[in-house]
Amino acid sequence: MERDKVTIREVTKRTGDAPRLAMITAYDFYSARFADRAGVDLLLVGDSLGSFMLGYPGTVPVTMAEMIHHCRAVTRAAPAAFVVGDLPFGSYQTSTRDAVANAVRLVKEGGCEAVKLEGGAERTEAIAAIVGAGIPVMGHVGLGPQSEHRYGGYRVQGRTADVAGRVLRDGIAVAEAGCFAIVIEAVPRRVAEEVTRRVPVATIGIGAGPGCDGQVLIYHEVIGMHTGRAPRYVKQYAAVGEQISAAVTRYCGEVRGGKFPDREHSYLMEQSELERFRERSAEPGKPPGEPLPAPHATGAER
Ligand code: KIV
């Protein structure tokens, strides 16, 4: 069923008592198509595609070219959801000029409606410059997977008062710099609640408890199309990976056993054309091949 396009005006209204925002990642045409049809508000072409589409150990190796390639597939598939593209590691940390240039590419070449970048107080100049160029920016505070080497892995942020204070200051700083919404990742729920209370824009949690204005999860983890352990905050709503394995196992068995393809999955031709073909292609000095089976009621071969 067709639904109204989600615009930034809708996203920015959804704070406080408004219905929560539902965001999910999408990386390719069909993940975006199914999520868009399911009614998701926002799609995030996350740099987590490094792990879930490309088999990298994390997000750090992901390039602008890879992000644009996947953003284009998603934006072609999703007429209704508001599409946000992640600026990958190295595309905005080097200079404000690079940050603006690469944000422009995600919008112009990738078709995204907004960009997301990780970091707090240290990113306010880049955020303000991108917003100044007319591109909405989603912030991302708490755990920033692109900084995994700084944290020594993917670790919950803000379990101590000091770090919780930093997460809060980061949230306030990126909101003041002009972000229209902020992802809060892997922080204790009370910390996310406090950030949500203190910023005027929508917060979208991932591993940040129920107190945010919205939630985001990774598509493959939601549908169960991944191997390996998922973080504690992930709720898996289907077991698509197991269904895929079962379907492909059956397919292999039917191919090997000659059961597939059967008549239903084969192209047929008119009986008369088949007879003419066999006469014309008979080997010299030999009669046409096997006698033909009785014609099908429609005149098509059996
Ligand atoms: O890349 C991504 O998928 C993200 C989410 C974890 C929010 O940034």
Contacts of 126 (CB under 8 A, 6+ apart): 92, 96, 99, 100, 117
Write the DSSP string, 32-50.
HHHHHHHT-SEEEE-TTHH
Residue tagged 């598509």 (tokens):
219
Mean pLDDT of 147-162: 86
For residue 295, which of 276, 272, 263 has the smallest C-alpha distance?
272
How far from the centroid of its chain's Cα atoms is residue 301's Cα?
Answer: 46
Mean pLDDT of 154-171: 94
Query: Is the peptide bond between 291 and the residue preceding it cis, with omega within 30 degrees of 0?
Result: no
pLDDT at 42: 98
How far from the centroid of its chain's Cα atoms is residue 93's Cα?
Answer: 23
CA distances from 99 to 36, 47, 49, 96 (A): 28, 16, 20, 5
For 203-253, write each residue's pLDDT tens digit. Answer: 999 999 999 999 999 999 999 999 988 999 999 999 999 999 999 999 999
- Of ligand 1's listed atoms, the one at least distance from the Cα of 183 is 7
Q: Are 24 and 44 in contact (CB under 8 A)?
A: yes
How does residue 293 score in pLDDT terms, banded at 50, 70 and 90? low
Q: Torsion angle, CA of 180/125/146/53, rounded to 10 degrees?
A: 50
Angle at 212 between CA 198 and CA 170, to 5 degrees: 45
Catalytic residue among 185, 193, 221, 301: 185
Q: Are 85 and 106 in contact (CB under 8 A)?
A: yes
pLDDT of 9 over the 70 cut = yes
For residue 121, which of 144, 151, 145 has the smallest C-alpha distance?
144
Residue of 24, 45, 59 to mutate, ligand 1, most atoms within 8 A of C-beta: 59
pLDDT of 184 over the 80 cut = yes
Query: What length does the chain have?
Result: 302
Give yes or no: 275 in active site: no
pLDDT of 100 over the 80 cut = yes
What's phi and psi for 167, nearest 5 deg? -60, -45
Cβ of 182 less than 6 Å from ligand 1: no
Cβ of 177 less than 6 Å from ligand 1: no
Q: Give the ranges where the chain is alpha helix by DSSP (H).
A: 8-13, 29-38, 49-52, 64-77, 96-108, 124-132, 148-151, 161-177, 189-198, 219-223, 240-256, 271-280
Among protein residues, the one whose CA lies closest to atom 1 of ligand 1: 46
- Of ligand 1's listed atoms, the one at least distance from the Cα of 47 is 1
pLDDT at 224: 97
Compute how many other C-beta atoms are within 10 angstroms of the C-beta atom of residue 202. 27
Cβ of 112 less than 6 Å from ligand 1: no
Residue of 44, 70, 143 to mutate, ligand 1, most atoms within 8 A of C-beta: 44
Cβ of 181 less than 6 Å from ligand 1: no
pLDDT of 298 over the 70 cut = no
Q: Are 75 and 34 in contact (CB under 8 A)?
A: no
- Residue 285 Cα to ligand 1 midpoint, Å, equals 70
Specify which residues 84 forms β-bridges with: 44, 114
- Residue 77 Cα to ligand 1 midpoint, Å, equals 20
pLDDT at 257: 98
- Residue 47 Cα to ligand 1 midpoint, Å, equals 6
Specify which residues 184 forms β-bridges with: 141, 205
